[in-house]
Amino acid sequence: MPLYERLDLVDALAVSLEDETATWFAFWHGQQTLVDALVAPLAGNHLLRMAVTSVGMFDKAARAKGAPPFCVCLENGTVLDAAAMVIATPAFHAARIFRSLSQAASALLENYRYDSIARLNLGYYWEDVRGKIPSTPPVEYPLTYINKLWGGDPRSGRAPDGCVLIQAGVRYDPAKGVAPHSNGDLAGEFAALFGLPETPLFEEVCLWDYDEPLMWLDDDFPARMDRLRYALPDGVAVAGSDYINPRYLRPTLAERVESGVAAAQRVMAAL
């Protein structure tokens, strides 16, 4: 909550679920609200839709002539220079980007494993859903979460009166695709599982092959991330969910923001 207060987003929050452990929130107008608030303070030049192919260091001759330590190579052949860098890309991209800068850092991120999740959003009438959706996912189906946002609840108004928005995460194997036993009809498979109408009022499925790091669960993950920091030269740091040692099963939003602050502090000495 202190983070939302600092970003002036308290009024943008809608209650999604309350249980004995916590209150879970969604955003009235979607997660882009948070993205916009985080981006707003950024200063300087923004290069959009410009992929980075690699990062490296200028050689001693160039640096003797005044070049800064680091260079960033873009896919169109442009080379940018930098006194310091915070790399905030997923690990599977960073493994490629770091090959010219640090083979040791690149090797630590090779074959980084992720959980693949399909995010399912379905809209129904109240009367078609009540009593049918459990509060916790059934163990026999690869659900990672289920949230229900009821229309008419002033705390969660993401659905019209008399309706409910169901949000669910379904684990899948990218090699086999989503809902392989239902010809890819994930919404239909979900509806059949809980006895819901075959045709929802609203349906949206988003696929995330690289949704959440599975590496968090490895016993050696904290040590691997410590080695990664030592493998990077002074003035370079990483930030993001893939590099956090979560206090619990997955890092909170506050921990993810702390990751960015810590990375900035590590490279400050180079500026």
H or E segment to which residue 123 belongs = strand 114-125
Q: Is the dihedral of CA 146, 246, 264, 2 positive or negative?
A: positive
CATH of the domain at 252: 3.50.50.60
Q: Identify whether residues 174 and 92 lie together within a single domain.
A: no
How many angstroms separate the CA atoms of 112 and 225, rounded?
12
In a domain, 25, yes or no: no
Q: Identify whether residues 101 and 143 lie together within a single domain.
A: no
User: Which pair of tokens denotes residue 51?
Assistant: 């992929």
Average pLDDT score over residue span 65-94: 92
pTM of the full predicted structure?
A: 0.78
Q: Give residue 224's domain range.
A: 52-112+214-270
Q: Identify whether residues 229 and 108 lie together within a single domain.
A: yes
User: Which of 196, 213, 230 is where one domain is finished?
Assistant: 213
Strands 236-238 and 85-87: parallel
In a domain, 234, yes or no: yes
Q: Identify whether residues 129 and 168 lie together within a single domain.
A: yes
pLDDT classification of 157: cutoffs 50, 70, 90: low
In a domain, 133, yes or no: yes
Q: Identify whether residues 189 and 65 lie together within a single domain.
A: no
User: Which of 183, 213, 243 is where one domain is finished?
Assistant: 213
Q: What is the pLDDT of residue 57?
A: 93
Instruction: Say if CB 54 and CB 100 are below 8 A apart.
Output: yes
User: Which of 197, 213, 229 is where one domain is finished?
Assistant: 213
pLDDT classification of 159: cutoffs 50, 70, 90: confident
Radius of gyration of the CA atoms of the chain, in A: 22
Domain count along the chain: 2
How many angstroms separate the CA atoms of 106 and 184, rounded?
35
How many angstroms separate the CA atoms of 192 and 213, rounded?
30
Q: Identify whether residues 258 and 245 lie together within a single domain.
A: yes
